[in-house]
């Protein structure tokens, strides 16, 4: 394949060209001065070496105020937060928990760890969020909880999920690990459930490397969590030092959230203008139906900006190779999750799960740190996309040869 020679910047980096972002994707976390000051304060006061200092109560208060949640339990990860939430819902061996067939793997494992069975329902075809209209059919006399999880910039229909949980008096657990700062109807995502969880893991929107929190306004659930956590030694604590680095991040979260929304809006409009049909926004069934409920105050969260990748529109360029190629341009795209029914057999389901299968094959997500950069950085994403799009066939041939 010898075409006319093109300047280096025209070539995909994977084929020896110059990457669009020569410095690679932005690193995470951001090295902000407020975080340094908070760490220094922790050092000076000695809180870094204490069980009980000033940082944990400060972070708890910030989260209580942010979420208007009466009870906040800090813990060692989002996954341990889910375990505590499940225990708070009194999920026990033999029980069932309804969840989407496409979700964070550890959520599924947490349920089986407690001896309960995940009952998988399918996704909506348009936005690849849990199809909550399938929940009711999945309820049995063993159902102890419903787990909803907002993924890849989408929002589960929280109004309908809430209504179903209320009608059947089943505990609704809301995983908001991917959408800190997001809200619907001015109510933060995480608090539409009876109990919500967030994560402070190293890639998340607010990070302490590890960490998580359980949020609830339900005193019974809070009491069960407290009893579990305080048997003997404290189970899954967060440290003062972790709280110290999180405090400034929660103080600036609203502003950061606004910045991310702006970037995503720009990105979507650029992609629409350029008619990049092979990369469509996860559109937006749940979100439209929420908007149609008379409010337009839907504000999604973007840990990943999710897209449906259509391999046919990209001249057969596989999703994995697309991700590899765009990453070598300095733009952090990854494939989504593996559908849960492909990873384990320890579940029950009522039907085939065709939309979860599609999500498994098609989703790609743009990692969030670039969303806090300038409009120019968002424009660069498009430049990279177009470059890969133009060279899709050549990339595919290159891969075939290099195997
Ligand atoms: C990150 C994440 C969690 C929890 O992750 P930890 O790494 O255990 O903090 C849970 N659910 C979803 C959807 C996540 O993305």
Residue located nearest, by CA, to atom 4 of ligand 1: 78
The closest-lying atom of ligand 1 relative to the alpha carbon of residue 202 is 7
What integer pLDDT is reported at residue 362 of this predicted model? 96
110 Cβ below 6 A of ligand 1 = no
Q: What percent of the chain has pLDDT over 70?
A: 95
Q: Is the CB of 77 under 6 A from ligand 1?
A: yes
3 state SS of 318 = coil
Give the pLDDT mean for 93-108: 98
Please work out whether the CB of residue 117 comes within 6 Å of at least one atom of ligand 1.
no
> What is the Cα Rg of the chain in Å?
22
Indicate whether residue 79 lines ligand 1 (CB < 6 A): yes
Residue 238 DSSP label = P
Ligand 1 pocket member 73 (CB < 6 A): no
What is the Å distance from ligand 1's center to 326 Cα?
Answer: 25
Mean predicted confidence (pLDDT) in 313-319 = 93
Atom of ligand 1 nearest to the CA of 82: 10
> Which of the listed residues 78, 84, 101 should we mutate to test ligand 1's pocket, taking the one with most ligand atoms within 8 A of CB?
78
Query: Strand, coil or helix: what is 289?
Result: helix
How far is residue 137's CA from residue 148's CA, in Å, rounded to a whole number?
16
Share of the chain above pLDDT 90, in %: 88
Band (70; pLDDT cuts 50, 70, 90)? very high
pLDDT tens digits, 19-55: 999 999 999 999 999 999 999 999 999 999 999 999 9
Taking the centre of ligand 1 as the mean of its atom positions, its distance from the CA of residue 174, in whole angstroms, is 12
Lowest mean pLDDT among 84-93, 120-129, 172-181, 289-298: 289-298
308's torsion region: left (phi>0), alpha (psi -120 to 50) or beta?
A: beta
Reported as a pLDDT band with limits 50, 70 and 90, residue 324 is: very high
Q: For the chain, report the end-to-end CA distance as a whole number of angstroms.
A: 18
Evaluate the omega torsion of the peptide bond into residue 63 and state whether it is cis, within 30 degrees of 0: no
**pLDDT band at 292; cut points 50, 70, 90:** low
Tokens of 16: 């020896």
Q: Which of 114-118, 128-132, 211-215, 279-283 shows the lowest per-residue confidence on average (mean pLDDT)?
A: 279-283
Quick one: pLDDT band at residue 71, thresholds 50, 70, 90?
very high
Instruction: Please report the pLDDT score of residue 274 as a whole number.
Output: 81
Q: Is 78 in the pocket of ligand 1 (CB under 6 A)?
A: yes
Q: Which residues pair with 71 in a beta bridge?
A: 216
DSSP of 235-285, one letter per residue? SSPPPHHHHHHHHHHHHTHHHHHHHHHHHHHHHHHHHHHTT-TTEEE---H
Under the banding of pLDDT at 50, 70 and 90, the label for residue 279 is confident
Model confidence at 100: pLDDT above 90 = yes
Distance 96 CA to ligand 1 centre (A): 21
Percentages helix, strand, coil for the chain, rounded to the nearest 5? Answer: 45, 15, 40
Rounded to the nearest angstrom, the distance between the alpha carbon of 400 and the centre of ligand 1 is 35
- Angle formed by the axes of helices 33-45 and 240-251, to 10°? 150
Pocket lining: 336 vs ligand 1, CB cutoff 6 Å: no
Task: For tokens 């996309």, name the residue.
Answer: 385
* pLDDT of 285 strictly over 60: no
344-383 residue pLDDT tens: 999 999 989 999 999 999 999 999 999 999 999 999 999 9
Q: Is the CB of 201 under 6 A from ligand 1?
A: yes
pLDDT at 311 over 70: yes
- Residue 232 is predicted with a pLDDT of 83
Q: Which of 85, 118, 113, 95 is nearest to 356 (CA)?
A: 118
CB atoms within 10 A of CB 96: 22
Q: Is the CB of 104 under 6 A from ligand 1?
A: yes
Alpha helices in 77-170 (DSSP H): 78-88, 105-113, 135-138, 158-168
For ligand 1, the distance from its centroid to the CA atom of residue 198, given in whole angstroms, is: 8
Which pLDDT does position 289 carry in this prediction?
57
| pTM (predicted TM-score) | 0.95
Residue 294 has pLDDT above 60, yes or no: no
User: How far away, in angstroms, is 76 Cα from ligand 1 center?
Assistant: 11
Instruction: State if residue 76 touches ligand 1 by the CB under 6 angstroms criterion.
Output: no
**Residue 273 confidence class, pLDDT cut points 50, 70, 90:** confident
CB 99 within 8 A of CB 105: no
Task: Name residue 174's beta-bridge partners.
Answer: 148, 196
Considering only CA atoms, which of 307, 319, 304 is closest in space to residue 282? Answer: 307
Quick one: pLDDT at residue 150? 97
- What is the C-alpha to C-alpha distance for residues 150 and 187, in angstroms, rounded to an integer? 15
How does the average pLDDT of the chain come out, rounded? 94
Per-residue pLDDT band for 5 (boundaries 50, 70, 90) equals: low
The residue whose CA is least distant from atom 3 of ligand 1 is 78
Instruction: Tell me the pLDDT tens digit for each residue of 233-260.
Output: 889 999 999 999 999 999 999 999 999 9
Q: Could you tell me if 81 and 75 are in contact, meaning their C-beta atoms sit under 8 angstroms apart?
A: yes
CA 335 to ligand 1 centroid distance, Å: 16
Task: Give yes or no for residue 179 having a pLDDT over 90.
Answer: yes
174 lines ligand 1 (CB under 6 A): no
Cite the DSSP H helix spans in 274-374.
285-291, 319-328, 340-343, 354-362
Q: φ, ψ for residue 249 (rounded to 5)? A: -70, -35
Mean pLDDT of 112-141: 97
Asked whether 238 lines ligand 1 (CB < 6 A), one says no
């Amino acid at each position: 394949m010898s075409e006319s020679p093109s300047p280096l910047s025209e070539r995909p980096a994977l084929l020896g060209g110059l990457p669009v972002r020569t410095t690679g994707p932005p690193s995470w976390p951001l090295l902000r001065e407020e975080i340094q000051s908070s760490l220094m304060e922790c050092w000076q006061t000695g809180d870094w070496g204490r069980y009980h200092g000033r940082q944990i109560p400060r972070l708890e208060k910030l989260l209580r105020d942010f979420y208007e949640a009466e009870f906040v339990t800090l813990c060692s990860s989002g996954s341990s937060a889910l375990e505590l939430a499940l225990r708070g819902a009194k999920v026990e061996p033999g029980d069932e928990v309804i969840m989407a067939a496409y979700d964070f793997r550890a959520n599924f494992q947490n349920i089986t760890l407690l001896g309960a069975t995940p009952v998988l329902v399918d996704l909506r075809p348009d936005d690849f969020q849990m199809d909550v209209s399938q929940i009711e059919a999945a309820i049995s006399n063993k159902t102890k909880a419903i787990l909803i999880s907002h993924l890849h910039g989408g929002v589960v229909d929280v109004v309908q999920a809430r209504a179903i949980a209320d009608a059947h008096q089943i505990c609704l657990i809301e995983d908001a690990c991917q959408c800190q700062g997001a809200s619907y109807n001015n109510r933060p995502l995480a608090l539409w459930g009876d109990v919500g969880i967030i994560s402070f893991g190293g890639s998340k929107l607010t990070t302490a490397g590890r960490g998580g929190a359980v949020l609830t306004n339900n005193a019974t659930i809070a009491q069960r969590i407290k009893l579990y956590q305080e048997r003997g030694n404290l189970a899954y604590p967060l440290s003062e030092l972790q709280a110290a680095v999180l405090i400034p991040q929660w103080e600036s979260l609203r502003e950061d959230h606004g910045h991310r929304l702006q970037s995503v809006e720009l990105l979507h409009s650029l992609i629409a203008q350029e008619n990049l049909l092979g990369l469509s926004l996860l559109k937006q069934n749940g979100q439209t139906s929420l908007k149609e409920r008379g409010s337009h105050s839907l504000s999604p969260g973007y840990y990943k900006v999710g897209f449906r990748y259509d391999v046919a529109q990209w001249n057969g360029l596989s999703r994995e190779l697309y991700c590899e190629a765009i990453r070598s341009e300095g733009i952090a795209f990854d494939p989504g999750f593996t559908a849960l029914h492909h990873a384990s057999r320890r579940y029950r389901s009522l039907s085939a799960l065709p939309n979860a299968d599609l999500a498994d094959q098609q989703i790609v997500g743009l990692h969030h740190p670039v969303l806090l950069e300038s409009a120019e950085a968002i424009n660069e994403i498009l430049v990279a996309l177009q470059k890969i799009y133009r060279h899709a066939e050549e990339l595919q041939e290159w891969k075939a040869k290099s195997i």
